[in-house]
């Protein structure tokens, strides 16, 4: 029968080995140091400076990438992003959840499918986009969810048939 000391040492050895493996593979996210942000990123993220080191590393990564994207946007793109954020803030919790679900579904699409959808949208005229948006907004949330679910199911079937 193993003694308690050997069991404890073995357990701590396993924990230490796991920690070293995570560190060595980069699975243990280190975050982004404030000093490693570009001056533009620091300016954009200035309201978070005092709390930056206390943020989870994943959040630091997302915020630094978002600040880079923001810095690269044209003034028109920034205005559009602000409008979208304001619309999101004005949504009910249920509407927000539906938006999150749609974003997750979009991210789960294959990269070529996301690209095809973006290209299709970008190739539409402003009038076509307006008509599509108006039609979409006239649908009930249930109708929209059914359309999204059918499209997701169709995409999954296409993806399985290609594999």
29-61 pLDDT, tens digit each: 578 999 999 999 999 999 999 999 999 999 999
Per-residue pLDDT tens over the stretch 91-121? 999 989 988 988 888 888 888 888 988 999 9
User: Residue 15: inside a domain, yes or no?
Assistant: no
Looking at the 3D structure of the chain, how many domains does it have? 1
Please tell me the distance from the alpha carbon of residue 21 to that of residue 28, in angstroms, as a whole number: 9
User: Residue 162: inside a domain, yes or no?
Assistant: yes
User: Residue 23: inside a domain, yes or no?
Assistant: no
Q: Quote the domain boundaries for residue 98.
A: 79-163
Tokens 């003034």, located at residue: 75
User: Residue 130: inside a domain, yes or no?
Assistant: yes
For the entire predicted model, the pTM comes to 0.54
User: Residue 104: inside a domain, yes or no?
Assistant: yes
User: Residue 129: inside a domain, yes or no?
Assistant: yes
User: Residue 49: inside a domain, yes or no?
Assistant: no
């Amino acid at each position: 029968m193993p003694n308690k000391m050997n069991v404890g040492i073995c357990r701590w050895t396993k924990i230490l080995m796991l920690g070293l493996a995570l560190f060595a593979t980069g699975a243990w996210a280190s975050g982004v140091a404030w000093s490693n942000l570009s001056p533009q990123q620091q300016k954009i993220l200035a309201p978070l400076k005092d709390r930056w080191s206390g943020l989870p590393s994943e959040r630091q990564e997302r915020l630094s990438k978002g600040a880079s994207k923001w810095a690269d946007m044209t003034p028109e793109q920034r205005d559009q992003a602000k409008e979208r954020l304001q619309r999101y803030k004005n949504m009910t919790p249920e509407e927000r959840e539906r938006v999150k679900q749609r974003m997750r579904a979009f991210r789960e699409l294959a990269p070529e499918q996301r690209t095809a959808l973006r290209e299709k949208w970008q190739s539409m005229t402003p009038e076509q986009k307006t008509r599509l948006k108006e039609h979409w907004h006239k649908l009930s949330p249930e109708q929209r969810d059914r359309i999204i679910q059918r499209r997701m199911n169709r995409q999954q079937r296409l993806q399985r048939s290609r594999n």
